[in-house]
Amino acid sequence: MSHELRTPLNAIIGFSELLMGGYHGSLRPKQREYLEAVHQSGGHLLSVISDVLDLAKIEAGQFELRQVTPVDPREIAQNSVDLMREHASTREVDISFNAEPALPPIAADAGRVKQILFNLLDNAIKFSPRHGVVTLRVQNAAAETVDFIVTDNGPGMGADEARIALQPFSQVDDDLTRRHQGTGLGLPLAQRLAEIHGGSLRIESEKSLGTRVVVRLPQAHDAEAAEQYVTL
């Protein structure tokens, strides 16, 4: 199913890129506008399909991390924030990064940690008000772990709403959520990927006071303990 879904989408994305790049001649402004819409929509759909398939594998007990190795938490967090800056800028949201000095490496699949952070940052940016502030902080935590903390000053959630937000395909039913349509997979998938690493995800949020999401992952010298979570 993964192949059958991704192959035609990759063709749509790839050929639209070729046309936008002038491979078959210059484009009129309206043609470029339409092609950019096709390319953007194809990319978004590919991302949604990837999330759905990842979650399906996890729920079926067939998900595997590619490779668990020592990963620099500062570097991977800084890179994630840098890649989200343009997205934040288009929504007029300020995004920042800070980290404690001398952070130990974590035992992780670097690509999946980026996926966790992208999902959390995307959610925080999406639900932040205009001129809002989103922050990613990395710090040492208890029991030889490292915390990645994404904070926003958006509308926040009550305890019941936070529980709903962690259920696959569920979304908090309010005006802001309806304005920002999504699959309801970002937080549940991030939580399950953290758990597969032997870590955890928790939401700290209050109505009108913003949201704080904490992902806790094991340090690299606990790599053997993390290996047992590579396959669920």
Do 219 and 109 reside in the same domain of the chain? yes
Q: What is the pLDDT of residue 40?
A: 87
Query: What is the radius of gyration, based on Cα positions, of the chain?
Result: 19
Residue 185 lies in a domain: yes
CA distance 135 to 98: 8
How many structural domains are present in the chain?
2
| The last residue of a domain, from among 11, 35, 59 | 59
Do 187 and 221 reside in the same domain of the chain? yes
Do 191 and 106 reside in the same domain of the chain? yes
Question: Taking Cα atoms as reference points, which of 200, 193, 231 lies closest to residue 215?
Answer: 200
Residue 232 lies in a domain: no
Q: Report pTM.
A: 0.80
Residue 64 lies in a domain: no
Do 51 and 90 reside in the same domain of the chain? no
Do 6 and 26 reside in the same domain of the chain? yes
- Segment (H or E) for 64: none
- CB proximity list for 58: less than 8 A, separation 6 or greater: 189, 192, 193, 196, 232
Q: What is the pLDDT of residue 232?
A: 35
Q: What is the pLDDT along the chain (232 residues), one digit of tens a residue?
A: 777 888 888 999 999 999 998 887 888 899 999 999 999 899 888 888 888 888 888 888 888 888 899 999 999 999 999 999 999 999 999 999 999 998 999 999 999 999 999 999 999 999 999 999 999 999 999 889 999 999 999 999 998 888 888 888 776 655 555 455 556 788 999 999 999 999 999 999 999 889 999 999 999 874 444 444 443 3
The 3-state secondary structure of 120-157, one letter per residue = HHHHHHHCCCCCCEEEEEEEEECCCEEEEEEEECCCCC
CATH number at residue 142: 3.30.565.10
Query: Could you tell me whether strands 211-218 and 200-205 are parallel, antiparallel, or unpaired per DSSP bridges?
Result: antiparallel
CA distance 135 to 211: 11
Joined tokens for residue 201: 């995800």
Strand partners, 203: 213
Q: What is the pLDDT of residue 178?
A: 46
Do 86 and 153 reside in the same domain of the chain? yes
Do 120 and 44 reside in the same domain of the chain? no
Instruction: Decide if 120 contacts 189 (C-beta within 8 A).
Output: no
Do 138 and 208 reside in the same domain of the chain? yes
Question: Taking Cα atoms as reference points, which of 140, 122, 144 lies closest to residue 189?
Answer: 122
**Residue 63: φ, ψ to 5°:** -90, 135
Residue 175 lies in a domain: yes
Instruction: Decide if 154 contacts 127 (C-beta within 8 A).
Output: yes
Do 29 and 83 reside in the same domain of the chain? no
CA distance 177 to 24: 41
Do 9 and 42 reside in the same domain of the chain? yes
| The last residue of a domain, from among 11, 33, 59 | 59
Do 76 and 53 reside in the same domain of the chain? no
Residue 194 lies in a domain: yes
Q: What is the pLDDT of residue 103?
A: 93
Chain position carrying tokens 């992902």: 215
Q: What is the pLDDT of residue 181?
A: 56
Do 100 and 210 reside in the same domain of the chain? yes
Q: What is the pLDDT of residue 223?
A: 45
Q: What is the pLDDT of residue 177?
A: 52
Instruction: Decide if 100 contacts 140 (C-beta within 8 A).
Output: yes
Residue 153 lies in a domain: yes
Enclosing domain of residue 96:
69-227
Instruction: Decide if 190 contacts 120 (C-beta within 8 A).
Output: yes
| The last residue of a domain, from among 11, 38, 59 | 59
Query: Could you tell me whether strands 133-141 and 106-108 are parallel, antiparallel, or unpaired per DSSP bridges?
Result: unpaired
